[in-house]
Structures are given as structure tokens and as C-alpha cells.
Structure 1
Amino acid sequence: MSSPEDLAEKFGELPDEVMVELHNMLRIYNIDAEELFFKWEEYCLKMGEDIKLNLKNITAFKDDAREQFEIEMRAKSKSAQAPAARGAQRAAKNTGDVFNMLDGLTPATPRSSAHSAAKLKFEKAGYETPLAERTSKLAVGSSPVGPGPTFKTPGPLASVPFRNRPDPGKVMEIYNPNIEIPQLPLPGYPGYQSRVQFAALINSQNFQYKPMYQKLTTGSQVLDDRIEEYAAMIQEEHKIENDEFCNPASKLPEEVVVVGRIATDAMDSQKRSNEASLLLEASRGGGNGARVRLDLSSLKGYAFYPGMTVALRAINPTGDKLIVKSVLDPPTYFSAGSKPEAMEEELRKLSAGNFNVFIAAGPYTTDDNLDFEGLAELVDKIVEAEPDVVFLSGPFIDAEHPKVKLGDFPIDMNNFSGYVLEDLFKEKITSQLHRITKSMVILIPSTRDAVSKHVSFPQDRFQRKLLGLRPDIQLLTNPCMVSLNEIQFGISSADILFHLNMQEIKATGKGIEMNTFNRLANYVISSSNFYPLFPPPEASQVGYTTPIDLQWMRLCDFPESIKPDVLILPSKLPGAVKVVNGVVTINPGFMSTTRTAGTYAFMSIEPPTKVLQEENVSSPDDDFTLKHRIYNRARVEIRRI
């Protein structure tokens, strides 16, 4: 790639902003300064006038160059599919030249076809843009031979300008409206240091594994162990005798209990699974890993998803179809609790007022720009309100963003560290986070974060030094569970609610939760796992790939199978807050959609005064704990930014 000196030699002395744009074009199209100068002269001739090299004209030049690039890509994609018509011509066995003097230059010379292909490839390499080939594959996301006939390079979308966003500040949903929000900042607010005691409940060292380096045997063992452990919990929960458990694939004329994992044999990833595609897969110990088809006609209602571990009462008269009579309720998991002295310490810490939390999830900017106006607005509100804690989950620099895919953003060469995307993070994200000084900031990455070294789920933390983050900013794994004073928060940036919604197979009926959000969230809570779905949905279903490291999925289990007080599950689905299975479950929504600004969540939790007054705290039992009952103490609002 040409240097700034080469650009100055061709274009002359230019303002810094113009020079940055020209250098950006060199990098995007992988050309040198001379070729870019020729393209500029061609553009001037096309416009039919003498154009000055200012920022406005360079921007128009970039748009024209991108349009030409799209035309070239479409032409190449059509030519790549055209040879079928040409192949209909009948070729002679020996149409080469006498003594092969033309060295394979005639189009139908069989002897030199391989040589011609190699020569053509060599000649193309001199002028074809390597980056264009890579970006076209990224845009299509499938075919390794190049883009299809309908391919169009992602360009600016017709987004709503941030200043024209609909209903800024509007409260979309409120939970516990009877709890009053204190005046923020709290009078005499000392800062989070004296009010918040932080503790991670997941060992982050376990997440430092080598990503996407898994063995099939280890992954299958994880699935097997989950079935066996579930069977043991079901046996204890429902007091079932050992001889009642049977192999689901054997002939079972009488009703027995079978335990396994829901699977599907639907082959077309473009379509959702259905009742006819459902199978039950047994563990290797409980049924040699056999799969048997499910007959759900006897059930009044059901709700399943691939990867769901279930216990069924069923019969199998022929050995090839399991007729399900009923589904056993999943095991009961305990809610978090604390000793009375810990609750009293919590009350002392919150003497100034409620415990206040902001919760937001990426993407943080629309698809037509990298201005991060929504994040800047949110930080303005945080600086003004001074909450105790701020949860921010990724993606921050979204690998699916059109401008990030194409590298279509300027680079500050004066502060260039050699890491383009990390510099963009520091410029757009770090600079905003460093404005927050009186609140604890917690960052959770996403597998779509282009600045994360860890590309699979479960996911390790961000790298602090590379992103220029302050030491007091808490960097957590994805997923994670933390204790803030006595309150336990669980959070995952994987969009499990949307993924479950795409894969769920259900029939409404007796005992089936009708509210979609409650039903999807309960899948997570009842499985005691942040991502119980397996396999994850295809890119054709949700628009992106979710790389799962199956052998490490035990890191997604709730610690000690204890339900968190607050479960944060950001999703593409509309923002919502519900109490599900005793857990305050929050979907803050995304801060930005592809076209317009989105939503975030605000939470205000009362001190545990009533909990201490109403419970018997004088119990002599050393194991006595008080339930936190956050669902009675918290007000949550889903707000538009």
C-alpha cells in the first residue's frame, strides 16, 4: 500500500481530512496512489469539470467508486455463472494449432487448458482487488466461489437520523410502578466505591481456553453428562424408582419414564422444525445414544426446543415411536439468599437511597454510520444521574456492521497503534466510558465483537490494555454472574431469547405458558444454563453465526444451580421485564437497530428494610438465610434512548 508521501506526490499538498479519506480508499480497494490518481482523473472527466480536492468532492468520489465496485462485482458474478451456456458447444477432440505453436492461446486447446487457467489466474492477480473478493464473501456469507447474481455490496441504509428518532425518553414498560424513583443523583451521593461491593461468581480463569479447538468425543460427553445429571435430579424431585427408567428406543408396552435430549431431523435450515421432526436422543449409558421419533398426539399442549433435556412418561409398543403421555416438571432450583448480617450490611451501604442500575446492550449505532450517537446520549444520562452500576454488553464494534465489514471508516494516522478496530474502539467507546467516574462500569463482550480475541461462546473477557480501558472498569466474561452487595445478577450477550423463539416447537394447551417472553425466559431458568439451545440456529435463520464451543458449555451453567435475583438477557425481541420463576428477567432491547435508535433499561432497588423486618432474623440455625425478594423491591423501566 502506498504511503502518505506517495499520495502527496500524485495529488499535491492536501488538507489532513482529505488525505485521510484518500488513504482510506487505498486500504479498502488495495490499490496504490498512482491507480487511485487515475481513478480520480477518470471521475473528473466523467463529471466534465475541473473539481477541487476538498472533503465534499472526495466524499462524492468515494460514493462513485463504491458504485463502480458494485457494478464490477455483479458483472463478475454473472460471468461466473454463464459458462453453462457456453459448455453446450460441441468441442473437437484435437483443435489445437499445428505443433502447438500458439502455446494454448486458442480458447479450445485441450492440451494447454491447465496452463491457460494458471496463466489467466496469474494475469488476473495483477489487477484484481483481493479485498473485494474477501468482502464479497463476507457480504454473502456462504458461497466460496463468489457472490451470487443478486449480490449487492452493503451500502448506507435509509436510517432515521438520531436527532429525528421517535419518542426519545419514552418509557415503554414499567415493572413495579408503585416504587418511587429517587431523585438522581442521590443527595450527597459519595460514588459507587462506598456503596457497591463487587464479587464475580464465575471463575473467569476457566474461560481462557483455546477457542474453536474442540474434540467430538469431549463435546458428546458434555451432552451425555447433562442427560445423566438431569435424570438423577428428576428421580430425586419426583421420587421415581430406578426400575421405572427405561431405554426409550426399546419396546415399552407399559408406561415408563424416559429421559433424553430433544433433537430434530429437519434438514432444511431455512425452515423451522415442527412436530413431525422431533426426536428424543438418549444418553449412551441410558440408551446407547439412540434416537427415537416422538408422537405428541396424546398431549393437550407442549413446548420444546432442540437441545432441551426432558423426562417423559411414555410407551413405545413397536420400538420405533415413543408415544408421550405426559412431560415431568423440571427440577426446582433454589433462589439466592444471604445471612441476616449481610443484609444488614447492605442496608447500611444504601443509607443514602435506592440501588440504581443502568442496563444497555449493543449494537450502539445504526448501520449507516459509526457515530455512536446513542451511546453518547446514554453516557450523558449516566453522568447526569450518577447510578451505582452500569451494565454494558456487546457488540460494541459489531463485526456484522456494513462499514466494519468493508473497512469503510477513517483512520487517525497520528494516533495509529497498528490495530485498526481497537483504535476505533478507543476513539468511539473508550472515550465515552472514561466520562463515567461515579458509577461502576461493567463490560460484557459479544461473539459479534470485532475487537474480541475470543470468537466463540462461552467467551473470555476483553483485553484491557489493547482497548485503553481504565483499571476500575470491570471486564467480565460472556456469560457471567456477579454479586453486587447481596444481589446476584446474571447476564449473557448471546441472544438466546430470539434464538429460542426461532427454534421453538409448541402447541398451546393446558399447562403451557401463553406469554412468549415468560416461556422463553423460563427455558433458560429451568435449565439452569444461559444457553440451553443446541445446535444454535443457522445464519440463514437469524442473519449471523453463533459459534458454540460445545465442550466448554458447562461454563454457561448457573453457579451451584442457584437462580440469580436478576437475569439480563438482551435480545432483538422488543424490550421487556417480567418476573419469571421468581427471577426479575430483563430484556433491555438493543441501543440501536439497523435503522433507528433503540431502548435501554433503568432499575432502582429499595434497601432490604422490609425483608429484615418481616423475617425471623433471630433464628439460631447457622444456615439460616434470607431470600432477597428483589421482585418486591425493584422498579424497572424500559426506556427509549
Structure 2
Amino acid sequence: MTIESEILSQFGPEANTPEIVSGLEHLVKLHALSIEDLYIKWEQFSYQRHDINSLSESALGQFKNFLQLQVEKRAARIPNISKPTSSTKKPKVLKPLGSSPLFGLNVQKTPTQPKRKLNPSPSNPDKKSRLEFTAHSLEKDSLISSVKDGESKSQNAYIKQCADALTSPRRNVEPGKILDSLNPENLEIGRGIDVKGEQHVKIIPLYEPQLYKFRTMRQNLLDASDVLDEQIESFTKIVQQHFQLSPSDFGDPTIQAQNEIYTVGRIVPDSPSSDDFLNTESLALEISRMVGIGRRVRLDLTYVSEGSFFSGQIVALRGTNATGDSFTVSELLHLPYPNSPVSTADELEAYKATLNGSDLKVILTSGPYFSDTSFDMDYLMDFVDRINTKVRPHVLIMFGPFIDVTHPMVAEGTIPHFTNLKTQPNTLDEVFIKVVAPVLKKIDQNIQVILIPSTRDAISKHAAYPQDSLDKKQLQLTKNFKLFTNPATFQLNEVFFGCSNVDAFKDLREITKGGNTSMRNRFDRVSELILQQRRFYPQFPGAIKKLEISPGKSDDKVFEHISGADLEIPYLGLTEMVGDFAPDVIVIPSELQHFTKVVQNVIMINPGKFIKPSGAPGTYAQITISSPNINDGKLTRMSDTEPVYLHNVWKRARIDIVSN
């Protein structure tokens, strides 16, 4: 695949101009990045700049300045580096020096800044009450000083523009403003729970909590191989039934033969020791132990015109192994999508009665809930107040991390002194109980709150995926809180929700072959792959994140914290979709740009981060679903004998991405 085709595969048709293609090629070579890493940086840039909606020549110019500023920030953090003389060669920047929870990039930190208290002293009313002002002032001083060091004029202007922006009000977008909508023409935004609180949503978890209470880091190789084998065998049955094939049609692709066979296996790199990304020339197929004792065979995709592949993907193929060296694929069979959930007329009428015929209103948020430079709860307090007085949803679903173990202040041990507390917390659990929980417990008792943990949650004793729920009693939460596992499938009345708190959209690095596939939106492609694989996190092995953490002194060592999907392989069955159907709504928070889409009649949502690492406000998702009515034509009747109805939530729902 040429560089130009790879660029179009990642950036889409809007990059299909000679000027933009050449500009992106230049950036790839200049910053020594892969095209996918460059696209991730573009996602970060467009996410931070709300006025950038498409890839144009003017936007590309600002993107170049953005990348240059990132390089200067990283260089400014390197201790004891003198200015280069005429005889000193400037070091080449081969790779980013570190990453932070957003887009794999570092957020600038001032190493020598003192610890900051959560609440400033009330004796100085003229001072800003928010810690972001201090952080912004320090960042501004750092930026302005870099201007004085003698940069290019264009770069100086951009840095000054960024520095001036840091002194603007903390909210660039009005809180509660709708940034994006799906199906806004369907219905108005729901009014939410009534004043008397008489409306109640029936919440039904569709998982067995005791299955998640396993001990982590106790993986048995035999158990792990059994689970991986079972995935292949279960898809073999699905493919056989869907395409009406007989068992004799399937064979071992690793054995040399002249006749065509069907086979099902897992996509892996052809070299087990390879750490590089997959490409269409280095794919291999791993088959089950029952078919071929788990052997692997290289794939020849010469005759495949279109497809999408990633590590760990289960695929169904038709082809031959005429030479014994590789399996030549003649057809890539598209795996069937799971069925949709249904309900009877009586069930729908009962659910309708629980809300007195009004619309269901659900709010989705995703942590972190405070910035990288403080433990300021102001944003969360403002949000809770808005939830109680204006939004009033029936259900609030909050994804962790609630206290992130990779938060710079947690990692460096610089947790501030909380002046509003009589006794200071001694552990991170106590930080949640004394600082975060009091804010959450102010949520109206009539609003049901669902908490879903993250593997980066310091308050979770189960830091692996799939993940057990948080401990409600230990965290001292009230009765309107429900603590679910990660992932979790549950019903809100008739609507099936599937929630997973591992970033599959960022981690799933797929390669595409064929113009139609590569030109489609990446979020659409990944969403379809998740549905086809019937797992909330289909990539295997899981992605790894490396975070650079500095204690703040130039003479201290730099520690590296490794985190990521943290898969517990013997329990991957708990990450699969429940039953033989896909949920009506799938929520997978991601560090990438917020979005909401309908893919194969399933609503896919990324609500975005509640707050950005820099302290700027983030977003949340607001869902309004009209009450089920079997007579309004929005529900599809599936049977005449015992009538059941498709929920068709994608037809009768409105989803808004709202600024925090």
C-alpha cells in the first residue's frame, strides 16, 4: 500500500487533494510518525479546536504549528540541556517522549511549581477560586518565555495566540450547549423525571455478578488456550449455520491440498516476535486445536478485493493451500451480525406504564472528573447542580476512572491538602469517600445512578478486564447508586444497554484493503467489527499504554507506568455480548473525538471526556427515547402467533452531545 493510499485510508476522502496529501507526507517524515499516529494527533488537534471541522489547507497549516508546539513542549521538559552551539548537532526527535491519558501525548507541566491546595483561602476574595487559573498562568509564563528564546515569527504568533487563550474564561463553550445531535428531528429533548419523583425506570442487569469475582493475575495457560479455542469453534458453528455449509466443507488450511476449503481462525502476525503493526503482506491465520492443533499459516490476500483486518479478529475464509507455504484466500466471508432484542406487547405496555407514557431520559458521562493539575471538584459540582435542577434524567450512567492511578498528582504523590476537610485522607479510597462521594451524594435521590469502573480506577481492587464492580458499602454511597461490572449489559425498561469501559475505538488498529472499505469512516468500520465479533473489546492481545511520569525534579529518575486493556484471557467470555443479540445502545467511552452513530440498527455512543487533562470542560451524552407504542408504527412486529416487537430504539431516540 502506498503512502498516499494509507493517508486516504486514515483521513478519508477530504484529504484527497495533492496539496493536503503532500503536506501530510511531509509531516510524517518530519516528525518520524506512522500515518495512524499522525491521524491520532489530528484527532487530538481537532478535538481541542472546536472551530476545526474538516481537513483543509488552512487547517493543515494550524496542524503543523500544533505539532511543532508539541515538540517544543517536550524539549522544554528535558532537564540539564544547554542551548546548542554552532558545533553541537541538534538531536533528532524520533518518537514522542511520552504520553498522557489523552491521545498518547504529554500535557505540559511545570516541574518546579509548588503543591496547590484544593480550595484557596477565603481571606483573598479577589483571587480566582479555581486552581486552573494558577495552572493557566504558569503555562502562559512558560509559553511567553519560549517566545523570547527566538523562534520563527509565524511560530511566535501562534504561541502568543495560545498564551492569550489561556487567560480567557475557563469555559470556551457555554455549559449545556448541544454540540452534535443524532435524530434531532425525531423528538424534542425529554423533560426527564417529574417534580414529585413518581416515575421509575426498571433496571435489570443481564449478567451474573459472581462470575466477575475471580482473582486477577492467576491466569492458567490451559484455561487461556481453552477460551481462545472456544471463540474459534463458536464462530465456526455460526458460519456453518448462516451460510448453510456442512462440516465436510471445512478443512485444515495448514495442510497442502488442491481443493478449496472453508476455514475459521484468528488473525495474527506472521512473525510471533514482530512488534510492528499488521499489514496485508504479513498476516497469518491461527486455527483451533481441534482442526489443526493450533498451527498458523501465512495468508495470501492477492485475490481479496476488499476487507478489514486486525490482530485477534475471527475470520471465515475460503481458499486453497496449493504449495503448503501459504493459504491463498479466494473469498472473505462476512460474519453475520447478531440479532436484535425483542419484547412482547404486554412487556412494552408495562414498561410504558412505569414512566406514565413519558420519554425515557438518560445521561452518560466518562471520567476523569478533574484535570491533570488539581483535584478541583467545581466542574462536577456544577454538573450535579445542573442535573438536579435543569436536566433531571431518569438515569445517570457514570464511567470511571473516578480517581485515576495515572493522574500525575497521584503518580507523583503530590495530592493536595484539602482545606475544607477536618481530617485529611490517608488513602486514595479516602480521597474518594471524603472528596468525590459527597459531591455525588448530592444527586437527587429520585435519579438512579449507575457507576461503571475503569481498569485505571484507584478505588477498584480489580484492575483487569473484565472487571468486577466497585464496592458500594466501602465507598459509602446511597441507595440510588447501582454499581455494575465492566463490561455490563442491562435493561432500562425495554431498552438494552451494553457498556464497556475499555477504549476499543482507539486500541483497535485495523488495516484495510480495498477502496470502499478504506474510504469509510473509521468509527463506522470499528463499530461494525465490534458487532461482527460480538465482543466489546475484540482486539487480542490488548493494547499497551506507556506513560512517562516525572516527580518534578530534574535530578530524579523518570518512571514508566504501563497500562492498557489488561485482559484476563480465561475470562474473556464475560466480555462477549449477552445471548445471541446486540444491545439497542452500545456505549464505549474513548479518548478520541466524541460521536454518536447508528450502525446496523445499533446506536453507538462515545460521550467524550467529562473534563480534559488541561482542565478545559469536556462533554457528556444525553439520550431521549420515546415511550414504546405498538400502534405508532415505530415498532416492527416479528411474529403473528405470539407477537413480539423489535424495539427500533434507533428510530425513536434522540442523542445529543452536550458541553459540560
Partner of 1:565: 584
Cα displacement (A) at 1:540: 4.3
Paired letter, 1:486: E
8 Å Cα contact 1:445/1:493 also seen in 2: yes
TM, length-normalised to structure 2: 0.70
RMSD: 3.3
Cα displacement (A) at 1:270: 6.8
Deviations 1:326-357 (A, max 9, x none): 21121332101111001111222233621111
Rounded Cα–Cα distance in structure 2 between residues aligned with 1:463 and 1:308: 34
Rounded Cα–Cα distance in structure 1 between residues aligned with 2:188 and 2:260: 55
Partner of 2:627: 607
Rounded Cα–Cα distance in structure 2 between residues aligned with 1:162 and 1:376: 21
8 Å Cα contact 1:254/1:315 also seen in 2: yes
Match status 1:297 vs 2:293 = no
Rounded Cα–Cα distance in structure 1 between residues aligned with 2:349 and 2:308: 42
Partner of 1:424: 431
Candidates 241, 249, 252, aligned match of 1:244: 249
Cα displacement (A) at 1:245: 0.6
Cα displacement (A) at 1:167: 1.7
Candidates 164, 169, 182, aligned match of 1:175: 182
Match status 1:358 vs 2:366 = no
**Identical pairs, percent:** 31
Candidates 489, 501, 505, aligned match of 2:511: 505
User: What SS does the aligned partner of 1:586 have?
Assistant: strand
Match status 1:225 vs 2:245 = no
Rounded Cα–Cα distance in structure 2 between residues aligned with 1:628 and 1:252: 48
User: What SS does the aligned partner of 2:216 have?
Assistant: coil
Candidates 331, 337, 340, aligned match of 2:342: 337
Cα displacement (A) at 1:616: 8.6
Match status 1:190 vs 2:210 = no
Rounded Cα–Cα distance in structure 1 between residues aligned with 2:336 and 2:636: 28
Rounded Cα–Cα distance in structure 2 between residues aligned with 1:265 and 1:578: 34
User: What SS does the aligned partner of 1:275 have?
Assistant: coil
Structure-2 change in CA distance of 1:166 and 1:569 (3 Å): same
Paired letter, 2:196: P
Deviations 1:67-95 (A, max 9, x none): xxxx9x968x9xxxxxxxxxxxxxxxxxx
Cα displacement (A) at 1:507: 2.1
8 Å Cα contact 1:393/1:493 also seen in 2: yes
Report the count of equivalent residues: 499
Rounded Cα–Cα distance in structure 1 between residues aligned with 2:357 and 2:241: 46
Structure-2 change in CA distance of 1:511 and 1:270 (3 Å): closer
Deviations 1:422-480 (A, max 9, x none): 12112332112111122110000000001101011100011112222112200000000
Q: Which moved more, 1:315-324 or 1:161-170?
A: 161-170
8 Å Cα contact 1:302/1:509 also seen in 2: no
Match status 1:477 vs 2:485 = yes
8 Å Cα contact 2:466/2:568 also seen in 1: yes
Rounded Cα–Cα distance in structure 1 between residues aligned with 2:593 and 2:422: 39
Partner of 1:453: 461
Cα displacement (A) at 1:269: 7.6
Paired letter, 2:437: T
Match status 1:214 vs 2:233 = no
Deviations 1:125-172 (A, max 9, x none): xxxxxxxxxxxxxx999xxxxxxxxx9979768495894232233322
Paired letter, 1:392: M
Deviations 1:91-148 (A, max 9, x none): xxxxxxxxxxxxxxxxxxxxxxxxxxxxxxxxxxxxxxxxxxxxxxxx999xxxxxxx
Partner of 1:589: 608
Cα displacement (A) at 1:506: 1.3
Partner of 2:156: none
Deviations 1:349-370 (A, max 9, x none): 2336211111010112221112
8 Å Cα contact 1:508/1:514 also seen in 2: no
Partner of 1:637: 656
Rounded Cα–Cα distance in structure 2 between residues aligned with 1:520 and 1:306: 13
Rounded Cα–Cα distance in structure 1 between residues aligned with 2:638 and 2:329: 49
1:407-418 → structure 2 map (5 Å cutoff)? 407-411=413-417, 416=423
User: What SS does the aligned partner of 1:560 have?
Assistant: coil
Cα displacement (A) at 1:420: 1.5
Paired letter, 2:218: Y
Q: Which moved more, 1:303-312 or 1:325-334?
A: 325-334
Structure-2 change in CA distance of 1:253 and 1:417 (3 Å): farther
Partner of 1:462: 470
Unaligned residue ranges in structure 2 (runs of 5+): 1-75, 82-97, 101-108, 114-134, 141-165, 549-561
8 Å Cα contact 1:369/1:403 also seen in 2: yes
Structure-2 change in CA distance of 1:619 and 1:480 (3 Å): closer
Structure-2 change in CA distance of 1:271 and 1:161 (3 Å): farther
Rounded Cα–Cα distance in structure 2 between residues aligned with 1:524 and 1:589: 19
8 Å Cα contact 2:308/2:517 also seen in 1: no
Match status 1:552 vs 2:571 = yes
1:322-401 → structure 2 map (5 Å cutoff)? 322-351=327-356, 353-384=358-389, 385-401=391-407
User: What SS does the aligned partner of 2:432 have?
Assistant: helix
Cα displacement (A) at 1:419: 4.8
Cα displacement (A) at 1:412: 5.5
Deviations 1:468-504 (A, max 9, x none): 211220000000011111111110111111111xx21
8 Å Cα contact 1:457/1:547 also seen in 2: yes
User: What SS does the aligned partner of 1:235 have?
Assistant: helix
8 Å Cα contact 2:621/2:657 also seen in 1: yes
Unaligned residue ranges in structure 1 (runs of 5+): 1-70, 78-138, 142-150
Rounded Cα–Cα distance in structure 2 between residues aligned with 1:399 and 1:269: 30
8 Å Cα contact 1:422/1:467 also seen in 2: yes
User: What SS does the aligned partner of 1:357 have?
Assistant: strand
Candidates 298, 307, 313, aligned match of 2:318: 313
Structure-2 change in CA distance of 1:316 and 1:540 (3 Å): farther
Rounded Cα–Cα distance in structure 1 between residues aligned with 2:227 and 2:240: 20
Cα displacement (A) at 1:607: 0.6
Structure-2 change in CA distance of 1:553 and 1:162 (3 Å): farther
Rounded Cα–Cα distance in structure 2 between residues aligned with 1:375 and 1:522: 34
Match status 1:621 vs 2:641 = yes
User: What SS does the aligned partner of 2:266 have?
Assistant: strand
Partner of 2:410: 404
Rounded Cα–Cα distance in structure 2 between residues aligned with 1:618 and 1:583: 18
8 Å Cα contact 2:190/2:361 also seen in 1: no
Paired letter, 2:502: A
Rounded Cα–Cα distance in structure 1 between residues aligned with 2:283 and 2:531: 23
User: What SS does the aligned partner of 1:489 have?
Assistant: strand
Partner of 1:114: none
Rounded Cα–Cα distance in structure 1 between residues aligned with 2:184 and 2:298: 48
Paired letter, 2:352: L
Which structure shows the bigger proportion of residues in helix conformation?
1
8 Å Cα contact 2:339/2:580 also seen in 1: yes
Paired letter, 1:258: T
TM, length-normalised to structure 1: 0.72
Paired letter, 1:424: V
Rounded Cα–Cα distance in structure 2 between residues aligned with 1:411 and 1:462: 26
Rounded Cα–Cα distance in structure 1 between residues aligned with 2:593 and 2:453: 21
User: What SS does the aligned partner of 1:348 have?
Assistant: helix
User: What SS does the aligned partner of 1:559 have?
Assistant: coil
Partner of 2:451: 443
8 Å Cα contact 1:266/1:273 also seen in 2: no
